[in-house]
A and B are shown apart, each in its own frame.
Chain A
Amino acid sequence: MTRYTSATPDDRREMLDAIGVDSPSDLFEQIPEPLRLGRPLALPDGMAEAEVYERLATLAERNADAEAQVCFVGAGMYDHYVPAIVDAITQRSEFLTPYTPYQPEISQGGLQVMFEFQTAMSELTGLPVSSAGLYEGPSSLASAGYLAIGATKRKRFVISRGVHPHSRETLRTYSVGYGAEVVEVGLEGGLTDAAALAEAVDGDTAAVFLQSPNFLGAVEDVEALGAAAKEHGALLVVACDPMTLGILKSPGECGADIALGEGQPLGNRLDFGGPSFGFFCATEEQIRRMPGRIAGETEDVDGRRGFVLALQTREQHIRREKATNNICTAQALNALGAMVHLAWLGRHGFRELGELLVRRTAYARERLAAVKGVDLLHTSPVAREFAVRLEAPVEKVLDRVAERGIAAGYPLGREYPEFEDGLLVAITERRTKAQIDALADALGAAISAERGSFVAPDTTKEPQVEGAA
């Protein structure tokens, strides 16, 4: 049994005397008798610290994590290498244990981190205004919908089927509350169908949502697709993977009004899906409609440089029902992890990492495409993730590959019934050439085994990607 309280029997006696009651239960008399529980909670008895550790370590061992398995699974969260200094800094009490910085004089550390983070995310996305961070990717996208309704006074969203299925579903969930309609535009050759998009956007459209690279890994021509939004006065909202922004043209440069996304690849663990953070950047025009905290630079009474929560008049604790969003507690510590990771990578390291991802992904794509029973799902350009089709049931192949200690990728079938045979394969700097080769071999062997006959590696197969050797 562990306790984090410190009141001794003597303390309790003195405190009760000062209050003027005999027992703590007198203080609970304001709860009407029938509503008092009157029995102990039906939960196990408390444990010693070592026992709790053992219990949780035993549960943890029953998970095949990215240390136990070679992880080619992505789909929005990636097994990147998080530098050691991220853990050291985010575990400091001074960052780990404060509340939201409501008292700026004693919160300059956290506020300056927010300001630095905003600067970094503005640089990455090419948009001048950044929030200090939201919950995670999909709910950030849904929040962009709320902003767009406020900005355009329209209630219709057009979203590409290339946007992460979790984001599309979250937007639909929120849109019931917003009273907004959601229209989906399909894919063609792995990319958003430009003609269908242009047709779907109209004068009632509040926002057009794209993702690049999209869920199938393909790099979209955001600038070209975005023209439909511009033509009709809808906001262009672009979800993006921050790890590709050292290489790909920024959403801002492509004409996006809002760029957002899942921040996990920057300095955050996989954590079975969270906590991570969502980033959210926009044009100056939207600054007073932004969701979440924003730090701003100012001065103290003696003229010292300092930072505060800026534009709080947008927020729920001031504006209540007229707030631009309901968000309060978000993910400040996770944003700190991202900032430290970005500073560690630095201007050149960040770009080099992006290049490494593109090259290893190209290699992996060619390598897998050469495997008998594996075909590319599309041949559009990719940055760090790509989709293939398997000529054997995906789930069974994944089980067989797992026996070799490899998580081969993300099966597309549940969310894209049209790609029931589809598999999404992600690359990080942790995935070595040898691991990629092992994946190719394992996939080949698994597919052959599933098809009931051993087939020798096919050395005559034509390359599927243009320019591939």
Chain B
Amino acid sequence: MALTQTPMQAEKAQTIFEKSKPGRRAAAPPAAEVPEKPIEELIPSNLLRSEPPRLPEVAEPEIVRHYNRLSRRNFDLDSGFYPLGSCTMKHNPRLNERVAALPGHARLHPAQDPKRAQGALELMWLLQESLSEICGLPHVSLQPSAGSHGELAGLLLTRAYHADRGEQRTKVLAPDTSHGTNPASVTMAGFEVVKVATNERGGVEMDDLRAKIDADPDQVACLMLTNPNTLGLFDENIAEIASLIHEAGGTLYYDGANLNAVMGHSRPGDMGFDIVHVNLHKSFSQPHGGGGPGAGPIAVSDRIEPYLPRPQVVRREGSNGHGPSFDLDHERPKSIGRLRGFQGNFGVFVRSYAYILSLGGDGLAEASETAVLNANYLKARLAEGRAGERLPIAFDRHCMHEFVLSGKPMKRELGIATLDLAKRLLDFGFHPPTVYFPLLVDEALMIEPTETETKESLDAFADAVEQILAEAENDPELAKNAPYTTPVRRLDEVRATRRPVVRQQLS
């Protein structure tokens, strides 16, 4: 490959601070309108700052140009295929942006009196009802800000549930395939993680589960599970798993990161789960924003309900011919309390509710069905030719919405690692799959195409993988030095951790 620089590569990265020049500005100050007293007369000078923060001095045209140019140094879902496993990179409808921006939503103060925010509270209540039906659990709190926040909520609920029964249980079980947030949340909630092994079909190893429970059943607080799990496989033993945990007195927590596989087909509540979090930025189309915002509502069973975070959105029946009204219930004596400020990420609720309204119940089921169809089709395509040989499926059975391949033979036979394949995919215009996760699969590639991709884009991805493997047979260095066409090439990540430079030095 010719190593001439692309125009974007030739452009040296410059920060907005480096574009600053004294005397330039964008914002014009509004007229004071009131007496312009010296600030020192209003606030004692020992509490005042001597120098203003060194923010950039840049005119508006240059700010727009700076961020537009920066934006072009990003790959995004609106531009290309994004099969990032466990992240559910489905289409983000623009309608949802439009309705979220309506002044009645976007400019509504969170402390507005509930009687003057009835539309917002009704929307939240309707979303709660929808998620309750989708999850098969009767109660919902929209408060958690993201999936991991929902996990923390679920574990604090578990703690409160046991404490209310006079128990102090210490252990939370989680499979070795679980998302990293699961064990991190367990520690933050003051529990200890007990890892459960995976069986040869990709599910929970039942003997290991029984052994871990039997070791100290009175200490089992909870089992956290993703189903389908991070291998994209539905755990067929879920009913038995649930009864084992419930017999031991623990709660069952559902990590909803993979809910996109089963909407309208199977419900966590019916599987026996007590607490579920839902990632609205995955299954319910909230754009991911380069790392948020999202929201992680939780749905729970009756026995967990008394402990839900406060305030809780409630519907009150009308009297004297008035319709129902909606309110925030702060009086919840057994509640674990607040998890954050105000009521949650309302703007995300608007988008996700718009998505649910657009698709309807049958549309959600169709979305999940197509997600599963697309995943199995891409899996079949990647079982052909070179990919089938060098990138075998980790657990060979029908998958749900995602699947995991192992790059172990590729690495052994061609000398290119999963990372190299991922980096070479960038040159073909694809976002790579999730790599090196789950941990139990060597050189893992976790692929989730989602339902909104065409067959053509799935075919193009499979063709690209085939082509990369073919070129690697002749010249493995090509993949090892990839990418070539991106705004920058492989970056020194070790240095960024050993000698971190985390801000611009300003003069």
Contacts and interface: CB of A to CB of B under 8 A. Distances in A.
Nearest to B270: A35
A37 interface: yes
Interface residues of B, number: 210
B487 A105 contact: yes
B42 to A, nearest CB: 5
Nearest to B271: A35
B301 interface: no
Interface in B210-245: 233-234, 236, 238-239
A43 B373 contact: no
Interface stretch (A196-204, A227-235, A335-343, A448-456): A335-343
Contacts of A461: none
A269 B107 contact: yes
Interface string A167-184: 101101110111100000
Contacts of B101: 87
B350 interface: yes
A3 B156 CA distance: 38
A319 B188 CA distance: 13
A432 B294 CA distance: 35
Contacts of B152: 174, 177, 326
B338 A169 contact: yes
Residue with the highest number of chain B CB atoms closer than 10 Å, among A5, A67, A293? A5
Contacts of A43: 130, 133-134, 356, 360-361, 364
B48 A99 contact: no
B346 A274 contact: yes
A383 interface: yes
**Chain B contact residues, majority secondary structure:** loop
A4 B93 CA distance: 8
B341 A167 contact: yes
A453 B350 CA distance: 45
B146 A330 contact: yes
A241 interface: no
B99 A57 contact: yes
Contacts of B453: 6
Contacts of A358: 39, 42-43
B110 A77 contact: yes
B397 interface: yes
Interface residues on A, range: 35 or more
A29 B159 CA distance: 36
Given A146-B188, A300-B489, A92 B270 contact: no
B172 to A, nearest CB: 10
B488 A363 contact: no
B362 A274 contact: no
Interface stretch (B59-67, B409-417, B467-475): B59-67
Contact of A120 (B55, B148, B340): B55
A381 B44 contact: yes
Contact of B146 (A56, A97, A329): A329
Contacts of A319: 180, 184
Interface stretch (B246-254, B285-293, B314-322, B386-394): B285-293
Interface in A68-112: 68-69, 71, 73, 75-77, 79, 83, 85, 87-89, 91-110, 112
Given A96-B289, A112-B15, A63 B117 contact: yes
Contact of B84 (A99, A296, A309, A320): A99
Contacts of B483: 105-106
B118 A62 contact: yes
Contact of A64 (B112, B160, B338): B112
Instruction: Give the interface centre of A77, A99, A322, A345 by most chain B CB atoms within 10 Å.
Output: A99
Interface in B459-495: 481, 483, 486-493, 495
Nearest to A104: B491
Nearest to A402: B116
A66 B106 CA distance: 9
Interface in A340-370: 340, 342-353, 355-356, 358-360, 362-363
B443 interface: no
Among A24, A75, A320, A469, residue most surrounded by chain B Cβ atoms (within 10 Å): A320
B15 A24 contact: no
A56 to B, nearest CB: 4
Contacts of A348: 25, 52, 57
Nearest to B482: A105
Contacts of A100: 288, 290-292
B292 A332 contact: yes
A299 B491 contact: yes
B48 A345 contact: no
A223 B69 CA distance: 42
A61 interface: yes
Interface in B366-418: 366-367, 369-370, 372-374, 376-377, 379-381, 397-398, 400
B303 interface: no
Given A65-B107, A344-B63, A316 B181 contact: yes
Contacts of A355: 39
Nearest to B103: A67
13 contacts: A15-B373, A18-B380, A19-B398, A31-B265, A32-B239, A64-B112, A65-B104, A77-B341, A94-B78, A123-B54, A177-B190, A319-B184, A321-B193
Given A28-B266, A273-B342, 18 more contacts: A18-B380, A20-B380, A44-B361, A49-B95, A56-B354, A62-B119, A93-B77, A96-B287, A97-B289, A105-B483, A107-B74, A135-B340, A173-B337, A301-B490, A327-B146, A328-B146, A334-B292, A345-B26
